Structure 1
């Protein structure tokens, strides 16, 4: 999971994405355009994870790899409830 935020003219571009890691590369497969600047919230992250699970199933998730910005008690509780490991860097 990653997020990128930049400005294009006066327009803020803020994209939250979820990808598949394979052989030291990540291939983005789901994304959400956020209509705000700054970090994502737990509900926005859950939406991506839930969509992935609906499409591919939970069993193909080894862990959620994310930057250290993806923290918070509700987020970690959600992952724990889903029995998913998170690795932050």
Structure 2
């Protein structure tokens, strides 16, 4: 951005202007999410992808919990939070709060699928997704146990799934 903002000055000067803007501006992320959403057609289901990322800025670490939305190959960040902890990990309450904002922005009917990686598998989080009737998919660690409605438990490793093979568990 700094190279294209104002050709009459050095890129370093433009970079300083950009940094000043973000330092002095209080962005309304809810409005920003609506602006980003306007880049997609108003109809159709969207896929939400939840992830945690860590960026290093010199000696400062920034951990964020992010939800991107999109259709097919198109994805945009919709909303993010910086967890208030030093480990960078999120808990179920953090994820639920983040997704509640997305439900408020999109509407529950617009969410087709919530995707997340295997670090997001706690019972409270999955129960919240089920209770709110949101379809979700995730990778499960091999050591996790599935509990069937009849009480039987089975390790994911014992399912005999090949790499890339998918299995649906609607009632576990």
- What TM-score comes out, normalization by structure 2 length? 0.48
The answer for the alignment partner of 1:49 in structure 2 is 99
Q: Tell me the matched-pair count.
A: 89
**Equivalent in the alignment of 2:117:** 67
In 1: Cα distance, 2:53 partner to 2:127 partner: 24
List 4+ stretches of structure 1 deviating above 3 A: none
Structure with higher RCO (Cα < 8 A, 6+ apart)? 1
Q: TM-score scaled to structure 1, two decimals? A: 0.88
Secondary structure, counterpart of 1:83 in structure 2: coil
Consecutive unaligned residues of structure 2, counting only runs of 5 or more, are 1-49, 140-172
1:19 match: 68
Shift of 1:88: 1.1
Alpha-carbon distance in 2 for matches of 1:23, 1:78: 26
- 1:18-65 CA deviation, whole Å, 9 max, x = no partner? 111222232111000123223211111111111111122100111111
35 and 10 in structure 1: CA distance in 2 versus 1, 3 angstrom threshold: farther
Find the counterpart in structure 2 of residue 28 from structure 1: 77
8 Å CA contact 2:64, 2:88 repeated in 1 = no
